[in-house]
Structure 1
Amino acid sequence: MAGERKQVFVVLTDGQVRAYVNSCPHVGAPLEMEENRYLDLTGSEIICAVHAARFDLLTGDCTWGPCRGRRLTPVAITIADGMIVADNPPNLS
């Protein structure tokens, strides 16, 4: 919806930082099982708490589950002075 605020989360893997909207492409539900916990037990994939869909850390592509072939919504970021800054962050929280 227009004007709706979205939560964003950031992952770091292999020295690369990625940011995604906290919303499963299958049902739109938040991904984390517990507050600020987005990764599986091995830390190698993002996992959806609703139906255990799995997502690649670097691309956001769904690799397993009902949303296979879809992806998380990426958020463009810049790292400046040690801080992560969203580029053009419309309605993000």
Structure 2
Amino acid sequence: MQLICHTDALNEGEARGFETAGRALLVVRRQHQFYVYENRCPHRGIRLEWQADQFLDYEKQFIQCATHGALFRIEDGECIAGPCPGERLIPCQFLQQDNCLYLIP
């Protein structure tokens, strides 16, 4: 297992990007839950953010691709608006233990 981050690295309602085991990841903390996805848009195969850690829409309700504005539900990564409706972000298996998030290979 590879360390992604400490749980206190994200405040409630925040998203951040991390590099772990050679993979670009996106971690969101929402309603005291963590969600981890590959930082890659299913439409273009590029990273979701233009600026560091800018993953959420203005109201912080959805993950947003900065390139074309696609919106993805935080809870399951499904695209609900934009050029790739029905496609999903790739979820990553992780373990939350001792105030840390670990990537499960």
What is the number of equivalent residue pairs in this alignment?
84
Aligned equivalent of 1:16: 33
Aligned equivalent of 2:77: 60
Q: 1:7 aligns with which of 11, 16, 24?
A: 24
Amino acid at match of 1:72: L
5+ long unaligned stretches in structure 2: 1-21
Amino acid at match of 2:89: L
Normalising to structure 2: TM-score of the pair? 0.77
What pairs with 1:36-55 in structure 2 (closer than 5 Å)? 36-55=53-72
Q: Which is richer in strand?
A: 2
Q: Deviations over 1:11-42 (max 9, x none)?
A: 01111111000000001011013111100111
The separation in 2 between residues aligned to 1:50 and 1:57, in whole angstroms, is 18
Q: 2:43 aligns with which of 11, 22, 26?
A: 26
Q: Displaced runs of 4+ in structure 1, greater than 2 A?
A: none
Normalising to structure 1: TM-score of the pair? 0.86
Q: Deviations over 1:43-68 (max 9, x none)?
A: 11000011000000010000101110
5+ long unaligned stretches in structure 1: 89-93
Question: Percent of counterpart pairs with the same letter?
Answer: 35
Aligned equivalent of 1:91: none
The separation in 2 between residues aligned to 1:54 and 1:6, in whole angstroms, is 22
